[in-house]
Amino acid sequence: MPRPVEALVHPAALAHNLGRARAAAPDARVWAVVKADAYGHRIELAYAGLRGADGFALLDLAEAERVRALGWRGPILLLEGVFEPRDLELCSRLQLWHMVHSAEQIDWLAAHKTQQPHRVFLKINTGMNRLGFTPGSCRSAWARLAALPQVDEISFATHFSDADGERGIAHQLEAFEAATRDLPGERSVANSAAILRHGARGDWVRAGILCYGSAPDYPAHDIRHWDLRPAMTLRSRLIAVQSLQAGDSVGYGSRYRAAGAQRIGIVACGYADGYPRHAGTGTPVLVDGVRTTTVGRVSMDMIAVDLTPVPHAASGSEVTLWGRGPQGSVLAIDEVAHAAGTVGYELMCAVAPRVPLRAEG
C-alpha cells in the first residue's frame, strides 16, 4: 500500500469559484490565472474546472504550451511578457498575448519577424514598483508600439499592491486612469482581492487565488464570506496512536508536553510533503472530519495531532490537512496558512512532488 498522503483537485469547486468572479465582475471577461502550474493544482487537472474562463493568464511559456495542448484555442496572456527575443516566435506560433513592461521588450518586438501581428498589454507601474512603465513614460511606449507592424491591438494593465488591505486601490487606479486617459484599448487591473473587495473594473479581470478557494484577504474575510470552495484537499491517515501521561513530550525538541493523560495520533504527512514546518502546536486539522489541532513540531514525514475531541479515532482514521473532509466538513487552507505565518497561496503552490495529485469531484 502506498503511503496514504494524497492531494485531490476539485474541478467542480474551481468552476464554482470562477462563477464567483463572474458574478462579482459581470461586465468583464475573466482570465483564470494558472501560473505556478495552476497554483499547485496542475494545469491538466484544473483545466476541466476552469475552461469556462475567457482566457488563461500565466508566466511560463512551457505552461502556455500545455494549455494549448489541452485544446484551448482562446486567449492566453503571458503576465510577465517574454524573457528573451526568441520567445516571440512561440508567441507568434501559439498566438499568445503578452505583457510589455519594458523598453527592451519593445526593441525585441520591433526586430521580430512575423506574419501574425501580436496582441499586447502595456503594463503601467502605478505604485507596485515591480514591472511596468511609469505613468509619465506610458504614452511614448504606447506610441512606439502603435507604430510597429508586429503589433495589432494594444491594451493596458496594472497591478495593485494593496487590494487586500487597508490602503486599497484608489490611488493606483487614479494614476492608471490619468496615464491612459484618451488612449484607445482594453483595460485589465483587478486581481482576486480587487474583484471581491472593490468591485469589477476594466474589460478583463485576473482571477487567481479566488479560483482555488482561498480568501485573498483572510483573516479579514474567509471563504464562507466570499462563498468560495476549496479546490484542493491535502489528506492522509493516522498511522499510529500514542497514549501520553502527564509530562510526556511529543516530537523533536519536546515542544509539546501533555498536561494529563491524552491520546495523540501520528499522521503520515510532514514538511517534505509540503505541510508548513512553521505550523506550531494548535494548528487546525480534521480527524475523521472532527476539528482538532496539531501538537509539537512538524517533522519531515509526520505530524502529531490531539485526539481528545475524537475519542473513536484509531490508526487508519482519515486526516484532512486542508480542504474537504468527510461528512461535508471543510478546513480552509487559509486557517492552516495563518497558523504557520503564511498565506494560502504559498501552501497550495508548495505541495511536494512526492504527493500524488488527482482530480476528484
Nearer to ligand PLP, 207 or 319 (CB): 207
Provide the minimum distance between the beta carbon of 13 and ligand PLP in the complex, in angstroms, as a whole number. 16
Nearer to ligand PLP, 33 or 331 (CB): 33
Provide the minimum distance between the beta carbon of 131 and ligand PLP in the complex, in angstroms, as a whole number. 8
> Considering only residues 292-351, where is the footprint of ligand PLP by CB under 6 A?
none
Place of cell 509526520: 302
Nearer to ligand PLP, 228 or 313 (CB): 228
Q: Which stretch binds ligand PLP (CB under 6 A): 62-70, 87-95, 187-195, 328-336?
A: 187-195
E-strand spans in 251-312?
256-257, 262-267, 284-287, 290-295, 303-306
Place of cell 508586429: 150
Nearer to ligand PLP, 23 or 261 (CB): 23
- Contact assessment for residue 156 and residue 185, using Cβ atoms and an 8 Å cutoff: yes
Nearer to ligand PLP, 51 or 159 (CB): 159
CA distances in angstroms from 341 to 41, 167, 281, 283, listed in the order given: 22, 21, 13, 11
Structure-block grid coordinates of residue 176: 492608471
Q: Whole-angstrom Cα distance, residue 256 to residue 91?
A: 54
Q: Whole-angstrom Cα distance, residue 308 to residue 310?
A: 6
Nearer to ligand PLP, 127 or 289 (CB): 127
CA distances in angstroms from 254 to 65, 86, 262, listed in the order given: 49, 55, 16
Which residue among 79, 304, 313, 332 contacts ligand PLP (CB under 6 A)?
A: 79
Please choose, from the candidates 202, 201, 197, the residue with its C-alpha nearest in 3D space to the C-alpha of residue 210.
Answer: 197
Which residue among 125, 126, 180, 192 contacts ligand PLP (CB under 6 A)?
A: 192
Residues 6+ away with beta carbon under 8 Å from 86: none
Place of cell 494549455: 67
Nearer to ligand PLP, 124 or 209 (CB): 209
Structure-block grid coordinates of residue 336: 492552516
Structure-block grid coordinates of residue 262: 491524552
Q: How far apart are the first and last CA of the chain?
A: 23
Please choose, from the candidates 50, 41, 13, 8, the residue with its C-alpha nearest in 3D space to the C-alpha of residue 348.
Answer: 41
Whether 47 sits among the annotated catalytic residues: the reply is no
Whether 252 sits among the annotated catalytic residues: the reply is yes
Provide the minimum distance between the beta carbon of 107 and ligand PLP in the complex, in angstroms, as a whole number. 22
* Residue, CB closest to ligand PLP: 208
CA 304 to chain centre: 28
Report the helix count and the strand count for the chain, using DSSP H and E: 12, 19
- Give the strand pairing for 357-359 and 6-9: parallel
Q: Which stretch binds ligand PLP (CB under 6 A): 63-71, 82-90, 189-197, 268-276?
A: 189-197
Applying CB under 6 A, does 33 fall inside the site for ligand PLP? yes
Per-residue contact string for residues 200-229; x = within reach of ligand PLP by CB under 6 A: ------xxxx------x-------------
Which residue among 10, 35, 41, 237 contacts ligand PLP (CB under 6 A)?
A: 35
Q: Which of 39, 212, 252, 256 is catalytic?
A: 252
Provide the minimum distance between the beta carbon of 208 and ligand PLP in the complex, in angstroms, as a whole number. 2
Per-residue contact string for residues 125-164; x = within reach of ligand PLP by CB under 6 A: ----------------------------------x-----
Q: Which of 35, 47, 256, 271 is catalytic?
A: 35
- Which stretches of the chain bind ligand PLP, using CB under 6 A? 33, 35, 79, 159, 191-193, 206-209, 216
Catalogue the active-site residues: 35, 252
